Amino acid sequence: MKIKEIKSFEILDSRGTPTIATLIETDNFLKEVGFVPSGASTGSREAIEKRDNGNSFNGMGVSQVIKTAEENLFPELIGMEIGMQEEFDSRMIELDGTKNKKNFGANVLLGLSLAYCKLSASKEKKPLYKYIHDYFLKHFSSEIEMKMPLPMMNILNGGAHANNKLDFQEFMIQPVGFCSFKESLICGVEVFNFLKKTLNHKGFSTAVGDEGGFAPEIDSAEEALDLISSSIEKAGYKVGEDVTFALDCASTELFKKNEYIFSNSEKLSSNALTDYLDKLVKEYPITSIEDGLDENDWQGWETLTNKLGKKIQLVGDDLFVTNKDVLQDGIDRRIANSVLVKINQIGTISETYQTINLAYQHNYKCIISHRSGETEDNFIADLAIGTGAGQIKTGAPSRSDRTSKYNRLLMIDAMEDLKFLGMKELEK
């Protein structure tokens, strides 16, 4: 089975911004399409998302980017065999010829890589998650088991994902005290709905941010955590037992001239911010902190990891950008203990697999993640199960771009008898 035709076209992401969809057709008329997500808060080491920078869509269009790929990349891929993910992705990387994929754009390459992966599963007549798992077992590790992931739900937004004065970007819950994915999801949905009632009662807006979480006009992490705690209790659950907290500080967005500058003009050193995060962990049942410090504050990350790395999950997002070379640097310096996996940060499925595998080899946890600019494509749900990642971050149970992932997971859960670890997923 070989590639016969490739077609890319503009579609809209969940923010109404253009992104790329790519359809690949084989010589026996199989077709699959990949939709490419896009981020708002991005790390400087991410692979390049290429835009037209012209008049269309206020410079955000991708039609000229697609045209360049149609003329210079697609013809080189026609005739390639289906079912050889690493070879296909390597060929694209070779043709691009740059380390950060700035020639054709990581958004172009990812659309191709996604469609190719789906076609490979179709060729073998396997569900996508099963194909991914079998591929991972064959090429990387024979010890990885499929399992249902623990949700990491962003239910209250700040930072670059909302128009308020809340500096930290995401306040999330993890429903850990349950025996099944479905029960965990139900808990998350109920807490989210009670949070809406709580906010309404206090006179706050219940408009949602980019990832479906509420974005009230509050200005402190403590106030956000207290509101969520109250909602958990009103929903009939126990804080710290049934539900724990996770934070995405997105601290790179706060870092200016070697200081962390907050919206109230407070300025904190790296050590002071570390002490503040330590204080929050002592006061609230926080089990995960993402991007607690700036992506280039490596010395600070060493201090943060020494202080909190044995207590909670410390996740690198902007820090590692799903890049195995950057992750290796972090491993060598004993920084963080977990990696956020975003397929568009690196631009191909093969490289995503490589990063996940490297994390597993060094006992780093993996959290499969969406982007703030999402599509209806639910590939990451299959990726989380197929690689045995154990955790998924895909927003609030709100907006169809987020619920499509939860619904895909519910479908797989109904079809398969897969284990769900709950709190054990977070154990060191």
Task: Tell me the catalytic residues.
Answer: 211, 342
SS3 35: strand
Tokens of 3: 């590639």
Contact indicator for 324, 364 with CB cutoff of 8 Å? no
Within a 10 A sphere around the Cβ of 92, how many other Cβ atoms?
24
Residues 6+ apart with CB under 8 A from 321: 43, 45, 46, 47, 342, 345, 346
Contact indicator for 133, 144 with CB cutoff of 8 Å? yes
Q: Edge-to-edge strand order for the sheet containing 255-256?
A: 255-256, 259-261, 267-268
**For residue 22, which of 340, 323, 375 has the smallest C-alpha distance?**
375
Which amino acid does the sequence have at 211? E
SS3 81: strand
**Crossing angle of helices 221-234 and 181-201, rounded to 10°:** 110
On the 0-12 / 13-18 / 19+ scale of CB atoms within 10 A, 310 is: exposed
**What DSSP element (H or E) covers 198?**
helix 181-201
**Rounded to whole angstroms, what are the CA distances from 364 to 180, 253, 287, 295?**
24, 25, 15, 18
When computed from its CA atoms, the radius of gyration of the chain, rounded to whole angstroms, is: 21
Backbone angles phi, psi at 417, to 5 degrees: -100, 80
**Across-strand partners of 5?**
25
Task: Report the alpha-carbon distance of residue 71 to residue 54 in Å, rounded.
Answer: 19
Task: Report the alpha-carbon distance of residue 62 to residue 33 in Å, rounded.
Answer: 17
